[in-house]
Structure 1
Amino acid sequence: MNKQVRIYDTTLRDGTQGEGVSLSVDDKVKIARKLDELGVHYIEGGWPGSNPKDMNFFDKVKELDLQNSVITAFGSTRRSGIKASDDPNLNRLIQSGVKAAAIFGKTWDFHVTEALQTTLEENLQMIYDSILFLKEQGLEVIFDAEHFFDGYKNNEEYAIQAILKAQEAGADCITLCDTNGGSLPKEIEDIVKDVKEKVSTQVGIHCHNDGELAVANTLSAVRAGASHVQGTINGYGERCGNANLVSLLPNLQLKMGYSCIGSDPMQELVSISKFVHEIANQVPASNQPFVGNSAFAHKGGMHVSAVLKHPETYEHIKPEVLGNKRRVLVSELSGQSNLMFKAEEMGLTLDKNDPKVKEIIEKIKEMENLGYHYEAAEASFLLLVKKLLGEDITFFELDHFKILTDKESSDELTTEAVVKVKVNEEVVMTAAEGNGPVNALDHALRKALGEFYPVIHKMYLSDYKVRVLDEGEATASKVRVLIESSDGRNTWSTIGVSGNIIEASWHALVDSIRYHFMKQDEELEIIKKDTVKPPVGVNNH
């Protein structure tokens, strides 16, 4: 049987100290439910002595029927000069109704004398009294030895005295904290080994990421004997964050052989990572290890060819065990293998011996040289391939469009677009106002095409991005426009590049509409309105 490592999640407390991260009580309850499903052993809900929100959380979380996790409250040792039983923060831990509490205490003599401004002996007594008081109330107590590694390196004797005092008081676990996040893996490993020789209590590890080593340091501590691991989902936390549980779990369980959460929950890592990002209103990092969208994305032609034969050539772990999937990107670095994989993924049948395959690859490279970026616009990529294969995915043709912008003194800016298109040999011209030229073009084109393709009303633009490609040309620079569209069920991205931002936007806009029509055509066959079409040239504005 694999050795057990108990997982302690502090996303709801330490994680919320990260810049830009704020969770409501309901948010915290939702995340707690997901963490329980993941199978973490402890969920640190907050510090009931610091704010009403956290105490409210402890009231609400009691309504959850948690199967795997113990809700834990966080606090500190008693204040200097008072009894533990009189300390309001310790009493709030008890009032929160939790079965386990984590309290931090100073183990670095510098902090004791300068931050707490008390004596070294009094600090040891504060640690002892606080743990003993909570144990007498029936709580499981985890002692977070704050700044332990810095304390050990500066005054080893006192740092050890502090954790021995915690053990004497009955602490169930002593967690060694790299609070400033500046230690190195070898230091962590050596110090944890020394601690393991001096204490009989379970040893835990809590690392911050200021040196980009929180995960590495945590793994080193476990290798040295720590069996309690603290961290946050996605590495949220103060300054540079905490040890990322999303990276720690697969490393510990799948690579080092420790038992953490079971194999089935491991397949939910991608899902819970995205869920927490969404609840916290944070943008997921595409290159986040294990769960990021790019974690198993392959671009170089030789790499793709090898991966398709033997995935282990360029993948350190199977993406499916984490709930992720392999992606093959198409770019100017693409080879035949990229194109064949991507075509199959999109439902296209290509013969690798067909001369058109080489033509498609060369066209992609030519377009990427112009500034196109098909990795981020797979809908435009599919349209391009279908066009080069000779498929008719036009649906409509542009005759011309005009953009009229009017600004008089302090009056508001008004923009109107006039669009003339040909559909099934019929020509229709419409005009519409909008919030800027692209919005006006979108409205006018929808009006023109709505008579022929009512399904256009089911789609909408959900995102619009512009990037300048050659800044040295100043206002004459070429721009890349990325448009994301949705029909409420699916989303797709399209691209346009030009020295004129309106033309670039037009190309991306047209691709988004053509892609929507094509997908609808494949699914159902587009229903065309069975009414008399407007006479050629009629202005429907």
Structure 2
Amino acid sequence: MSNAVTIFDTTLRDGTQGEGVSLSVEDKLKIARRLDALGVSYIEGGWPGSNSKDIEFFNRAKELKLSNAKITAFGSTRRKGIAPEEDANLNLILESGVSVATIFGKTWDFHVTEALQTTLEENLSMIYDSIKYLKDKGLEVIYDAEHFFDGFKHNPDYAMETVRKAEEAGADWIVLCDTNGGSLPDEVADMVGTVVERCKAPVGIHAHNDCELAVANSLAAVKAGATQVQGTINGYGERCGNANLVSVIPNLQLKLQYKVVSDEQLKSLTGVARFVSEIANMHMPLNQPYVGSAAFAHKGGIHVSAIMKHPKTYEHIEPERVGNKQRVLVSELAGQSNLLVKAQELHLDLDKDNFESKKIIQQIKDLEHQGYQFEGADASLELLLRQASGQLEEAFTLESFKLLVEKSRDQSVVSEAIIRLNVQGENVYAAAEGNGPVNALDNALRKALVQYYPDIEKMHLSDYKVRVLDDKDATAAKVRVLIESSDSENTWSTVGVSPNVIEASWQALIDSIRYALHGKTKSPLKESVPERVGIVNH
């Protein structure tokens, strides 16, 4: 058995069938370049017979200079009752200019008679004719045996006959699909092993995640002899998604010792996962294995104390191997170990026996009791630690702000903020409108500061979340606001808490600005804590 596994990525085709996933042609080209750099062997670009967007992608993909991957087009076997050269979908694959075609056909007799409404014999001819036609045109052909595992369970003889027909026609790969995602790893292993024994063509696996087993089924298939794994980045795909290649690749390479990508390419895995998530405008789970920001995050004081002695105590691999990093969270569950590690990251001199260290931990616990959450707001935590250590110079101090929100019968809501700051000893006034009061405050604050700190133009707010903490108090409840900010190189998060959503937003907003300007200030520290202002209601 070969120790190498080929990766077939279908993010651009099967992944876009997931709810909420939509990619433009430009998006697909960007992702294709990153997938090629990651080291995948095949990139399935789409179905040229289904929409004009995919046709445009294949036309533009001809200009891609790929180092590792081949672009493949997807399609079905010929329609019943016609010759392959008369089938529009097969001819569109040829016209797309790809060198590899991925063709799916029916394996389950139930689908042949009910979905295709044809005979079992005609389905075998459809498989053979389609693959032979494309092979005769000089294409590499990957045959996806749709519903193979369900088909094998119901009629194993016919299921095997379909893959034999594909092999007779010259298919370069036989890929077994768990299309409904309902199979278990032991079933997959047994059936894949049977096909590997009976077929000369190399075998692959295409698993869906309807039972949360797509990754496990893919690994089981490889251990049974499959040498190609199909899947998507971050597991995107129809219904519950496809096998998540972001987990498949490191599990194969680091746990089962298969050769999948180079060590350097593996280090790019976290970056690729987050890049695709950003392009697809999909939230990436914090706890996603290997690549999530919480994958190597430690919160409990006992855990942190142990990893300070040796990371292996609570980490199954070195996070750097997949391009991730260790994080220590500071919260109400934290002990001094958490704080010391965080201080080390910031190059702050804190001693575990120091009274100041204990004081800061207690302050953090008290703030979290009030509703602050620093594990999701690293920038606010850093400011707190630097401030307590006397290593933070304030870029500005607030004198006052006012908000005006006006709604008339015939007009939309208009929000205006008027702000007065002290910046480097000078009083600065600014007013700005915005799309809501928080945006107006943000615009006014930037307007006041940009003449002193031009770099502020490079940052922007990338996310804004409000959570009600005490819902039993209804509209009088405390709220927690988390703001995520970005510039061309970094992303950081800040937090604010108050019974007033505007004040909570202001706290998070000024922390975001303070963090961005840290190191760029010229004036001395004016006060230990920025004023938490009252709100002027209009």
Q: Give the TM-score taking structure 2 as reference length.
A: 0.90
Counterpart residue type for residue 511 of structure 1: D
| Corresponding letter in the other structure for 1:308 | M
Letter paired with 1:207: A
Contact 1:383 1:393 (8 Å CA) reproduced: no
Matched residues, number: 524
Rg (Cα) greater in structure = 1
Aligned to 1:216: 216
Q: What whole-Å deviation, never above 9, does each CA across 1:47-97 have from its counterpart, x for those lacking one?
A: 222233323322222222322222222211111112223222222222323
Aligned to 1:328: 328
After superposing the two structures, state which structure 1 stretch, 344-353 or 54-63, moved more. Answer: 54-63
C-alpha contact (below 8 Å) 1:453/1:526 kept by paired residues: no
Counterpart of 2:360 in structure 1 is 360
Match of 1:251 in 2: 251
* Distance in 1 of aligned mates of 2:453 and 2:61: 50
For the aligned residue pairs, the C-alpha RMSD in angstroms reads: 2.6
Once residues 90 and 438 of structure 2 are traced to their aligned partners in structure 1, the CA distance between those partners, rounded to angstroms, is: 59
- 2:229 maps to a residue whose letter is V
Letter in 1 for 2:500: N
- How far does the alpha carbon of each residue in 1:163-193 deviate from its partner, in whole angstroms, 9 at most, with x for none? 1222222222111100001111111111112
CA separation of 1:184/1:67 partners in 2, compared to 1, >3 Å: closer, same or farther? Answer: same
Assess, with a 3 A threshold, how the Cα gap between structure 1 residues 423 and 30 changes in structure 2: closer, same or farther: closer
Q: 1:377-388 residue pairs with structure 2 within 5 A?
A: 377-388=377-388
The whole-number CA distance in structure 2 between the counterparts of 1:483 and 1:40 is 36
How much has 1:136 moved relative to structure 2? 2.0
* Equivalent-residue separation in structure 2 for 1:84 and 1:426 (angstroms): 79
Distance, in Å, in 1 between the alignment partners of 2:25 and 2:456 is: 40
Deviation readout 1:425-466 (Å, 9 max, x if unpaired): 876776665554434444555566678777766655444322
The CA deviation at 1:20 is 2.0
Aligned to 2:282: 282
Question: How far apart are 1:321 and its partner, in Å?
Answer: 1.0
- Give aligned-pair identity as a percent: 63
How far 1:400 moved relative to its partner?
4.8
Secondary structure at 1:8 match in 2: strand
Q: 2:505 — aligned with what?
A: 505
* Residue 177 of structure 2: aligned partner: 177
Counterpart in the other structure of 1:197: 197
Single out whichever of 320-329 and 34-43 deviates more from structure 2: 34-43
In structure 2, give the amino acid aligned to 1:113. T
Residue 115 of structure 2 is matched in structure 1 by 115
Partners of 1:26 and 1:418 lie apart in 2 by 41
Name the residue aligned to 2:484: 484
SS state at 2:80 partner = coil
Distance in 2 between the 1:22 and 1:362 partners? 46
Q: Does 1:70 align with 2:70?
A: yes
Map 1:235-250 → 2, pairs under 5 A: 235-250=235-250
Counterparts in 2 of 1:162 and 1:339: CA distance versus 1, 3 Å = same
For 1:126 and 1:424, the matched residues in 2 are separated by 78
User: Aligned letter for 2:48?
Assistant: P
1:232 and 2:224 matched: no
CA deviation digits over 1:482-517, x for unaligned, max 9?
233456554433221111222222322333343344
Q: Does 1:32 align with 2:14?
A: no
- In 2, the alpha carbon distance for the partners of 1:167 and 1:386 equals 66
Q: Check whether the contact 1:105–1:127 (CA below 8 A) recurs between aligned residues.
A: yes
Shift of 1:414: 4.6
**Bigger CA drift: 326-335 or 15-24?**
15-24
Q: Mean alpha-carbon deviation: is it higher for 212-221 or for 121-130?
A: 121-130
Matched to 1:333, the amino acid is L
User: Against the structure 1 CA distance between its residues 403 and 135, is the aligned structure 2 distance closer, same or farther, given a 3 Å change threshold?
Assistant: closer
Question: Does residue 311 of the first structure (1) align with residue 289 of the second (2)?
Answer: no
1: CA distance, partners of 2:435 / 2:239: 39
Q: How far off its partner does 1:340 sit? A: 0.8
Q: Is the 8 A contact 1:455 1:526 kept in 2?
A: no
The separation in 2 between residues aligned to 1:285 and 1:411, in whole angstroms, is 40
Unaligned 5+ runs, structure 2: 525-538
Residues 13, 487 of structure 1: alpha-carbon distance in 2 compared, 3 angstrom cutoff: closer
Equivalent position of 2:530 in the other structure = none
Structure-2 change in CA distance of 1:10 and 1:498 (3 Å): same
CA contact (8 A) 2:392 2:518 kept: no
Distance 1:304 1:138 in 2: 58
What is the SS of the residue equivalent to 1:519? coil
Q: Is the 8 A contact 1:386 1:393 kept in 2?
A: no
CA contact (8 A) 2:453 2:520 kept: no
Aligned residue in 2 for 1:538? none
Aligned AA for 1:139?
L
Could you tell me how far apart the structure 2 residues matched to 1:276 and 1:458 are?
A: 23
The alpha-carbon distance between structure 1 residues 363 and 110, as it changes in their structure 2 partners (threshold 3 A), is same
Report the Cα distance in structure 2 between the residues aligned to 1:429 and 1:95, rounded to whole angstroms.
63
Which segment is superposed worse, 87-96 or 436-445? 436-445
The CA distance in 2 between the partners of 1:165 and 1:416, in whole Å, is 71
Aligned to 1:61: 61
Matches within 5 A, 1:410-425: 410-417=410-417, 419=419
- Structure 2 equivalent of residue 125 of structure 1: 125
User: What letter is aligned with 1:170?
Assistant: G
Does the 8 A contact of 2:396 with 2:424 survive in 1? yes
Q: Counterpart in 2 of 1:537?
A: none
Matched, 1:152 2:157: no
Native 8 Å contact 2:394 2:523 kept in 1: no
Q: Contact conserved, 1:16 with 1:236, CA < 8 A, in 2? A: yes
Against the structure 1 CA distance between its residues 218 and 461, is the aligned structure 2 distance closer, same or farther, given a 3 Å change threshold? Answer: closer
Amino acid at match of 2:206: H
State how 1:440-451 maps to structure 2 within 5 Å: 440-442=440-442
**TM-score, reference length from structure 1:** 0.89
**Structure 1 gap segments, 5+ residues each:** 528-541
